[in-house]
Structure 1
Amino acid sequence: MKRYLLSALTLTLLASLSHAADTAQSQPAAAAPRSGVDVQYIDAGVRAQDDFFAHLNGQWLKTTEIPADKSSWGSFAKLRDDTLPQLRAIVEAAQQAGQGGGAKAGAAAAEQQKIGDLYASYMDEKRLDALGAKPLAGEFSRIRALRDKKAIPALVAHLAQIGVAAPYAIYIGQDARASTRYAVYVSQSGLGMPDRDYYLDAKLAEVKAKYQLHVEKMLALAGGKRAGADAKAVVALETALAQVQWTKVENRDPVKRYNKVALAQLDALTPGYDLRGGMAAAGVAAKVDYVIASQPSYLGALQKIVEQTDLATWQAYFEWQLLRSYAPYLSSDFADAHFAFYGTTITGVTAQPPRWKRGVAAVEGALGEAVGKLYVARHFPAERKARMETLVRNLMLAYRQSIDTLDWMSPETKREAQAKLAKFTPKIGYPSKWRDYGALAIARGELVGNMMRAADFGYKRQLNKLGMPVDREEWGMTPQTVNAYYSSTMNEIVFPASILQPPFFDAGADDAVNYGAIGAVIGHEISHGFDDKGSQSDGDGNLRDWWGAQDRKNFAAKADALVRQYSRYSPLPGYQVNGELTLGENIADNSGLAVAYKAYRLSLGGQDAPVIDGLSGDQRFYMGFGQVWRSKMREPQQIVQIKSDPHAPGQFRANGTVVNQPGFYDAFDVKEGDKMYLAPERRVIIW
């Protein structure tokens, strides 16, 4: 195949043909299939064989500015931003409908009333400015009433119920070794910056210094008399916590994170700190006889930190965490200071999003599925779900066939892999059962109270799961979320309605670009069931080693090669991609695209794909994948991603994946000497 190049002449010709078709007065011909490739963004000055990402997205990269209220911009962010006006229309309609006051009859009307009242509470900035920090007065009093560090476990339990971070988190989830029941997990928490490295990495010392000034400012705004000294003590305390916390890479190991501890043995885990009493105060001790400690060494070290830190510092720490959690819902001085650090210093954003966007986000956080129900009714056609179901079936078929042909997996392990794949549950668009918000009280004019009640509602909803059958109809994302996920304990793949739009899914485009885009997303999520973490769970969602020893060794060798490949990438001077942290996502990208390509070829039924816009089907397939990762990111946000995000930056998700795909070399005639060329023996091919 000739080397691919789309010239300016070709683009001009396509534009003139389009104009002629639009203006023709004769009987119109049948519409030609549309490629779905954003050819206007192609940079003909960069060869696909040298930098596929820059070639495909170069004009966009040159001409697009990141919006002032965004830390990054690209396919995901734009689609999310395009969805926000639709959500705004929903919540503002609910706000207008509730202006008359009084709950209307019917559950649906009651939910809309809550949506409208919560949004109205957020938008009443004049009232919030008049209140200042008063809505938190009761919580400040609770913290300041501490007279002994022995009361800290009960305070942590209370703060968990209202959504305030503490040195450890208590949450409910499926037991990773007994997935038919719920269990209580205790996990490290309580840092005010994105990752422990922000406290320990010398390159980020300036950010840490600004963080201390921010803590001081917030404590002073709340009336603190010794805000400077308290802020210094708080940052020192958080630094001590960071030093004993597990790294993001260590936390990727699901077996090491599963540490079952009987309630009666909790005292031995944290001698001197009444963690067992904290579980009782949290309401879980009466419902379980064990907890799962995610980082037991951290909990042991925490006990010593509690012992060595004076009570006044702990009080300042909890006041700060309360302010950090609720600043966006207080007066403008608190909200603006919160943005100045977390928006500008941490992510590089120069302007706050308009208040209506923040209001929509607050409503979604509290009443996400209530909004989602209205969103789906207005914006998610049934035919889109049906076509997605077909794509999922084709991807599952391609995986089944791929497993059978693997040369590195034994027959016994292949049978286990097929058994797991057969138990996958796909969820598309929206839940079959919507969440009931009847127990959540929302009142106009009580924003902080509303957000606290929403946090408490969510906490009690989780608490009530203990002792109950696992709800396999539950979703972990709302339908309006532009994302997708795989759950190892549920063994399910979930695709919310909002991601089923261009450039991920284009109902009017030829199948090639859809298989490269949403098909690769589907394949990506399926692959998580077989990545270095997901592969440690079986088809029922239980941690179990179902691999033969040699199979695991073969898989580990391929994984190690991916770690080395991605660790060579550097999006910023002095910062490398963490190949170990991003391993699971890199496995999923590479495996998902490989299987999506097989599914696409199967969908052709042995026929040749049409040439559209001068592009072959295989070219459109890989371009569909590459344009999904079109993105730009502010430098501070890029550092956040490198330190804390298990995903590689977009340009490496595109280029780093296609260089391992044999079909890419054929589609674009990539040869030795080209910058995108990787010798066959160095390509990592898993599926």
Structure 2
Amino acid sequence: MSDRLIPALLLSTTVLTGLSACGDTTKDTVATVSGNVASAQTSTGQNAEQANAMPIGINLAAMSPKVKPGDDFYTYANGEWMKTTEIPADRSSTGAFLVAFQETEKHKTSLIAELVKAEHAAGSDEARIADFYKAFTDTAAIDAAGMKPMAADLARYQAIMDKQGLSAALGANLRADVDPLNATDFFTENLFGIFVTQGLATPGEVLPYFLQGGLGLPEREYYLSDDPKMVELRSAYRAYIETLLTDAGISDAAARAERIFALEHKIAAAHASREDSEDFTKASGVWSRADFDAKAPGIDWTAFLAAAQLDKQGKFAAYHASAITNLSALVASEPLDAWKDWLVFHHINSHADVLPSNIDNASFAFNGTKLSGTPEQRSRDKRALSALDEYLGDAVGRAYAEHYFPASAKAEVSTMVDNIVTAFGKRVEKLEWMDPSTKKEALAKVATIAVGVGYPDKWRNYDAYTVLPTNAYANAINGEKVEYAHQLAKIGKPMDKGEWWMTPQVVNAVNLPVQNALNFPAGILQPPFFDAKADAAYNYGAIGAVIGHEISHSFDNNGAAFDSTGAMRNWWTPADFAQFAKQGEALAKQFDAYAPFPDLHVNGKLTLGENIADVAGLAAALDAYHASLNGKPAPVIDGFTGDQRFFIGFAQTWATKMRDEALRARVATDGHAPGMYRALTVRNLDAWYTAFDVKPGDKLYLAPEERVKIW
């Protein structure tokens, strides 16, 4: 819940927050823009009337029309925006996603303000929302309470006398705070994280997944890399540990910080790499209860699992099997005092935002400014809205959807989804390289995708969540425990194919591989991604590409390993998979060449799944747009053809500015390439070359045989 660096907003996993410029432009500017692209189609009759009646959707003022699209398409679409847009002081990045986020935030601010002013029945969701908000924003009360709300937890760690007690404490801290399949979120400050859904290797059986954890920095390379910037961050982190302990009134802070830092270095060395973490084939192992004792000695697993409320569970998904073994060994080999110090620090660090201001400010100075370059912390009221999304997300989302997501928008987006799913299926049918047996499996997967638009069919029940109007720390702890119990309750029951993993107000979208399902929350179904009044070309290039992206995740390098039931099994012929892998290698090489800094290149392998989804999703969205024209020529609007508007709309949704620190962190840890490179996905579509008259000699030109065509 603290402001530690976690990869932020990106489609299907984390979402890249951003901002798109707004404004009008003159006819002279439009004429200049049109002069740099292929000749526009002639508008006559009905098409001319259509063109005059609908807004273009794309932001003309954001463009740099004098830039040749074939040399730098991203700058052509976003150049003026890049020059004039400033990253807000309380943000590490900005772009199109931030526009939608800020609009959603305005709506939530209005909703919460009304709830806080009104009286509510005790135990109602409205009362919970109001009380949570009041407690979180009452910094005077938080400061006055000091460390007292946490005293019992710190005493619990101090009372640990042996490795059995340590094991019980580690188990009691276990939370459902990671998501490797739907959000590529591997970060937890607890020694292990829990995720609950159908097992990768157990079709139809819901299991608790065990994932590695225990670090304060974003991931293992921050501890192990010799890169000078990583070395600098490690030094700053060591100092931060001492500062936080001092501010919390913990004695002998310097010596404790040294022990904690040394222990975390060993924890990092015990971790699986980020690349291995994103390879589901390496994470599908299933352990019995006896396997923990045999394969991972060191932790007292009887004590650990009893404290974690998992002592009656006989089967587990060992997502990070090697790390479970290695981390358990560290529990046995490292001094008890080091572990106790580590527990104290991470309990403080992970709850800094509900502790006194000096601790909260110190946390932001490191996690916000040093790690991601953000100069200013967000205001307390806005942070309260984010905290409500975390702890009472469905309750807030229900009110949000009722007020701000009309049925007409749900219907229109649902139609777009159906059209793009159909287009994707037709693309599969036309694949010449795919064996009929493989094609049959792929088409079955397309036909059975379950799509949720706007909000879930069933809303979360929060009756078990006690929220106090005067204790922000207790609300956070209670909320974590309630979420943990909610997730554990799914074990042993049939998987809910319709389960949502995002709240309606989130500006994001997700593919759920073991459910063969998609979620498109209401938060992203607004400008600049979707505008019911805008031209279809724009909407298909913007939200359509998002929809296509999520559909395509079912067939990226990881998604292609799952069948229509969500079971992970090989449904490919060897020749088909070899062809698929060959195209993936070509795409990885393409992205390896992108370098935001002279000393840092994008990792094509790490970002491959997202890049495959971008290529295939954009192609399917374009096909669906063409089909939506029902055989009629696309109207020309403001001098742009339909395909031009489609591609520009796509590029503008990936308008991105990031602080250097955040950009380095993104490249080092995130499975998504930065937005300015995702916009260059267009290089792989033949239609882009035609639309903008891109020819050999242009800097972005790829010969036809070099263009990646996977689906």
Q: TM-score range by the shorter chain?
A: over 0.9
> Which residue does the alignment assign to 1:682?
706
Corresponding residue SS for 1:358: helix
> Which residue does the alignment assign to 1:663?
687
Distance between the aligned counterparts of 1:81 and 1:642, measured in 2? 25
**What residue identity is the alignment partner of 2:299?**
Y
Q: Displacement, 1:11?
A: 3.0
**Does 2:538 correspond to 1:513?**
yes
Is the Cα–Cα contact under 8 Å of residues 430 and 497 in structure 1 kept in the other structure?
A: yes
Query: 1:202-247: CA deviations, max 9, x gaps?
Result: 2211111000111101111122221111111111111111112111
Distance between the aligned counterparts of 1:97 and 1:364, measured in 2? 20
Corresponding residue SS for 1:186: strand
> Which residue does the alignment assign to 1:552?
577
Is the Cα–Cα contact under 8 Å of residues 219 and 669 in structure 2 kept in the other structure?
A: yes
> Which residue does the alignment assign to 1:20?
none
Distance between the aligned counterparts of 1:167 and 1:12, measured in 2? 57
> Which residue does the alignment assign to 2:642?
617
2:247 to 201, 221, 228: 221
Distance between the aligned counterparts of 2:401 and 2:330, measured in 1? 49
> Which residue does the alignment assign to 1:112?
126
**Does 2:466 correspond to 1:441?**
yes
Distance between the aligned counterparts of 1:387 and 1:438, measured in 2? 34
> Which residue does the alignment assign to 2:626?
601
> Which residue does the alignment assign to 1:36?
57
Distance between the aligned counterparts of 1:91 and 1:129, measured in 2? 24
Is the Cα–Cα contact under 8 Å of residues 179 and 490 in structure 1 kept in the other structure?
A: no
The TM-score with structure 1 as length reference comes to 0.94
Query: 1:400-444: CA deviations, max 9, x gaps?
Result: 110111122111110110011111001000011110111111111
**What residue identity is the alignment partner of 2:307?**
A
Alignment of 1:201-350 (within 5 A): 201-203=225-227, 204-286=230-312, 288-350=313-375
> Which residue does the alignment assign to 2:29?
11
> Which residue does the alignment assign to 1:397?
422
2:406 to 364, 369, 381: 381
Q: Displacement, 1:335?
A: 0.6
Is the Cα–Cα contact under 8 Å of residues 162 and 453 in structure 1 kept in the other structure?
A: no
2:105 to 84, 92, 112: 84
> Which residue does the alignment assign to 2:94?
73
**What residue identity is the alignment partner of 2:555?**
F
Q: Displacement, 1:276?
A: 4.3
Cα 1:7–1:357 change in 2 (3 A) is: closer
The answer for unaligned runs of 5 or more in structure 1 is 1-5, 16-28
**Does 2:694 correspond to 1:673?**
no
**Does 2:525 correspond to 1:504?**
no
Corresponding residue SS for 2:53: coil
> Which residue does the alignment assign to 1:3?
none
Alignment root-mean-square deviation, CA? 1.8
Cα 1:137–1:162 change in 2 (3 A) is: farther
Q: Displacement, 1:292?
A: 1.4
Distance between the aligned counterparts of 2:302 and 2:72, measured in 1? 56
Percent of aligned pairs sharing the same letter: 40
Distance between the aligned counterparts of 2:62 and 2:641, measured in 1? 18
Is the Cα–Cα contact under 8 Å of residues 30 and 60 in structure 2 kept in the other structure?
A: no
The range that moved more, 528-537 or 38-47, is 38-47
Distance between the aligned counterparts of 1:343 and 1:658, measured in 2? 34
Q: Displacement, 1:200?
A: 1.1
Q: Displacement, 1:8?
A: 6.6
> Which residue does the alignment assign to 1:24?
none
Alignment of 1:183-194 (within 5 A): 183-194=207-218
How many residue pairs match? The answer is 660
Distance between the aligned counterparts of 1:216 and 1:405, measured in 2? 61
**Does 2:561 correspond to 1:540?**
no
Is the Cα–Cα contact under 8 Å of residues 111 and 437 in structure 1 kept in the other structure?
A: yes
Cα 1:616–1:154 change in 2 (3 A) is: same
Distance between the aligned counterparts of 1:323 and 1:195, measured in 2? 19
The answer for unaligned runs of 5 or more in structure 2 is 1-23, 34-48, 178-187
**What residue identity is the alignment partner of 2:236?**
K
**What residue identity is the alignment partner of 1:202?**
D
Query: 1:86-137: CA deviations, max 9, x gaps?
Result: 1111112111114xxxx517x7xx1111100000001111111111111110
Corresponding residue SS for 1:577: coil
Cα 1:171–1:397 change in 2 (3 A) is: closer
**What residue identity is the alignment partner of 1:213?**
A
**Does 2:501 correspond to 1:484?**
no
Distance between the aligned counterparts of 1:357 and 1:189, measured in 2? 28
**What residue identity is the alignment partner of 2:672?**
H
Alignment of 1:189-200 (within 5 A): 189-200=213-224
Alignment of 1:363-382 (within 5 A): 363-382=388-407
Corresponding residue SS for 1:434: coil
Corresponding residue SS for 1:230: helix
Q: Which runs of 4+ in 1 moved over 4 A?
A: 6-9, 12-15, 161-164
1:60 to 54, 59, 81: 81
> Which residue does the alignment assign to 2:4?
none
> Which residue does the alignment assign to 1:628?
653
Corresponding residue SS for 2:515: coil
> Which residue does the alignment assign to 1:156?
170
Q: Displacement, 1:504?
A: 0.9
Distance between the aligned counterparts of 1:271 and 1:676, measured in 2? 54
1:455 to 477, 480, 504: 480
Distance between the aligned counterparts of 2:345 and 2:595, measured in 1? 35
Q: Displacement, 1:325?
A: 1.0
Is the Cα–Cα contact under 8 Å of residues 119 and 363 in structure 1 kept in the other structure?
A: yes
Is the Cα–Cα contact under 8 Å of residues 7 and 44 in structure 1 kept in the other structure?
A: no
Corresponding residue SS for 1:684: coil
> Which residue does the alignment assign to 1:176?
200
Distance between the aligned counterparts of 2:598 and 2:344, measured in 1? 37
Alignment of 1:115-126 (within 5 A): 115-126=129-140
The range that moved more, 243-252 or 371-380, is 243-252
> Which residue does the alignment assign to 1:428?
453
Distance between the aligned counterparts of 1:9 and 1:477, measured in 2? 42
Is the Cα–Cα contact under 8 Å of residues 388 and 428 in structure 1 kept in the other structure?
A: yes
Q: Displacement, 1:265?
A: 2.2
Q: Displacement, 1:280?
A: 2.4
1:133 to 140, 147, 164: 147
Query: 1:246-285: CA deviations, max 9, x gaps?
Result: 1111111112101111112210111232234312221122
2:675 to 645, 650, 653: 650
Q: Displacement, 1:294?
A: 1.3
